[in-house]
Amino acid sequence: MAELHPTAGPTETAPLSTTMTEQIALERSPRRSAVLLVYHHDGVEAAPLSPGVAVVVGREPPADVAIPDPCLSRRHARFTWVAADEIAVEDLGSANGTRVAGKRVQQASVRPGDEVQLGGMRATVHVTSGADAAALGVEGHDAVRTAIQAEMKRARFFGGRFAVLVVRAALRSKGHIARWCPRVCALLRPVDRIARYSEESVEILLPEAGEDQALSVARALVEPRPDEPALVCGVAPYPGAATSADELISLAWDAAGRAGPARRIEVARGEGARVVAPRADAELTSEDSRLVAESAAMRNAVEVVTRVAHARSAPVVLLQGESGVGKEVLAQLLHDASPRRQKPLVCVNCGAIPAGLVEGILFGSERGVYTSAYEQRRGVFEQANGGTLFLDEIGDLPMQAQTTLLRVLETKRVSRLGSTKELPIDIQIVAATHCDLEAMVAAKTFRNDLYWRLNTMAVEIPPLRARREEIVPLARRFLTLAAKANERAMRGFDEEALSLLERYSWPGNVRELKHAIDHAVVLAEGDMVTARDLPPRVRGAGRSPLDAGAGAPRSGGTLKERLRRAEIEAIVDALREVGGSQTEAARLLDLPLRTLQDKIKKLGITRTFSGPAETESGR
């Protein structure tokens, strides 16, 4: 359809339905301001409206609000604020049309808060009595995720605190954020960050906010209003039960999922430990529970843990690998395959336990040991007795707790803090870490004797980028699970989406892949996930020199050589993504800066990333 090109002058900005008196009154009103909000995949674009001045939305400049999305025409629609509570909307001959109240229109008059559909996007005008529209700061999920990563790093270094909130409409069908997001934005501080996650939900970062302050904000956000849909909120404070940004976001989402009309706010609690209920036989044999193990390395890992599951001696298993590679999934597999499967599986994140509570959480405590200990408390070893105990991030244990843990492993007995009584335990222990424990032993931050006690049955889990044959099967599994959770019928991925998934380096490994698919299912407009539904960082995935064949053939070489090439690729991708900043790349890869610098030197990676990156094998 041909697009209209209005001529300059009165025709361009003339109001469609107003009087001169109304126009003058609107221009002279110092207490009212308006902003046009256009909600799209990666956030919200906002443009202030001035009385009588048109704002054009389109796919590219010279549109005033330019969003490079194929659902929009180059000049799609014009919005003009013509009276205090009236906005004129005019379609500019767009291909996909402009709709008001579900009907395609050429011209229409809408009120503040009414939804206007532009192709596959929604827009609304928010009018406020203040001088600031207060809704100009809505970002995309990736931007706020990066901010949470940075905030977590600062909090760890300075001993600070913050919180992540997920706010969503209680009823998805009636809760588009256009109806309530402007008010939420107005309640936040300038330092807070807010991201559009879906049409019915937002994620919020509250820097330097403790749990009490976060709850106060949450109560204000979900306060019932007659002109808005009911809102619920999940709160995930830090420090708490998460050690990464993705974990913290997941906890906030889990809490929001538990919230409902009777209890509008839920807090993600826990001190790093949780008990996994035994799974029914039908659940154990279902297709959704089957572990994806297409690579030789994962098949080997599955074989090892399956053999351990049937061993009477219950040897300690040490799972080593980057964050998010699937260590807890393997621990669950071992537990489910063992005779202990009807007993509890207790998972504890050693790095998420407050320093002063580590031994009490692990080994239990008697009443009065702590100022706040009003009752006897069983530790995770007692809770897991007869079953399996998964000790994640074992490298984060303080030295004193390491000493006590070694004694428990040797004697198979545990004593609560404040008690001399020893309790016998029968447990299958699975420990996990993303740290180099051998290097920590050399640095005297991890006990040598404990390391050798844990290292009797070690399993190395390679990163997802080193087992790319599993990316598509995992993505399809996560698509099925996300479709069920969102009550959607999804057929699969289009070719471009699959190509991007396979090319991306996945620094967050399987956990990041799952979040990306969850994100895509929420945003997908049809029954197929397309490239535009994927997070921006995945859409921006480009082929590295190794992909293009600059290095050794990807399909050949020993396992060590393949892992080396995969490591080079991951570092190159991370450096390119952050413009060559080693500090930011280290954060993205969840590595200490010194470790990354050593790897760059060892692998022969150049430090210039303005163009194609080089490696020693590709010069």
Rounded Cα distance between 609 and 606, Å, is 8
User: Looking at residue 104, what is its pLDDT?
Assistant: 94
CA 354-355-360 angle, 5° bins: 80
- Which amino acid is it at 213? Q
**Comma-separated ranges of CATH 1.10.10 domains in the chain:** 560-603
User: Looking at residue 533, what is its pLDDT?
Assistant: 87
Residue in 160, 164, 200 with CA at minimum distance from that of residue 522: 200
Rounded Cα distance between 561 and 392, Å, is 28
Rounded Cα distance between 47 and 59, Å, is 15
User: Looking at residue 467, what is its pLDDT?
Assistant: 92
Per CATH, is 296-366+375-460 categorized as 3.40.50.300?
A: yes
Residue in 535, 534, 533, 557 with CA at minimum distance from that of residue 546: 557
Residue in 215, 276, 268 with CA at minimum distance from that of residue 240: 268
Rounded Cα distance between 518 and 509, Å, is 15
Write the CB contacts of 110 (distance below 8 Å, at least 6 apart in sequence): 86, 87, 89, 100, 116, 125
Rounded Cα distance between 549 and 419, Å, is 63
Fold held by 468-540: Helicase, Ruva Protein; domain 3 (1.10.8)
State whether the Cα torsion 472-477-480-485 is positive or negative. negative
> Options 3.90.1150.10, 2.60.200.20, 2.30.110.10, 3.90.1580.10; which CATH number does 34-126 get?
2.60.200.20
CA–CA distances in Å: residue 77 to residues 99, 200, 257: 10, 24, 37
User: Looking at residue 128, what is its pLDDT?
Assistant: 60
Rounded Cα distance between 42 and 534, Å, is 10
In the numeric block, which tokens belong to residue 241? 């039960």
- Which amino acid is it at 22? E
Rounded Cα distance between 506 and 58, Å, is 33
Block means of pLDDT (10 residues each) for the chain, 619 residues, are 35 39 45 77 78 92 89 94 89 93 92 87 73 56 87 80 91 71 85 85 90 90 87 88 80 85 80 66 58 88 90 90 90 92 89 78 74 64 92 91 92 87 92 92 93 91 92 94 85 92 90 89 86 84 41 50 76 74 77 80 61 37
**Comma-separated ranges of CATH 3.40.50.300 domains in the chain:** 296-366+375-460
Residue 390 and residue 351 in contact, taking contact as beta carbons nearer than 8 Å: no
Per CATH, is 560-603 categorized as 1.10.10?
A: yes
**Comma-separated ranges of CATH 1.10.8.60 domains in the chain:** 468-540
Q: CA neighbours within 13 Å on the CB side: how many for 587?
A: 17
Fold held by 138-267: Alpha-Beta Plaits (3.30.70)
**Comma-separated ranges of CATH 2.60.200.20 domains in the chain:** 34-126
Instruction: Starting at the earlier edge strand, list the strands of the sheet with 86-91.
Output: 65-66, 55-58, 77-83, 86-91, 107-110
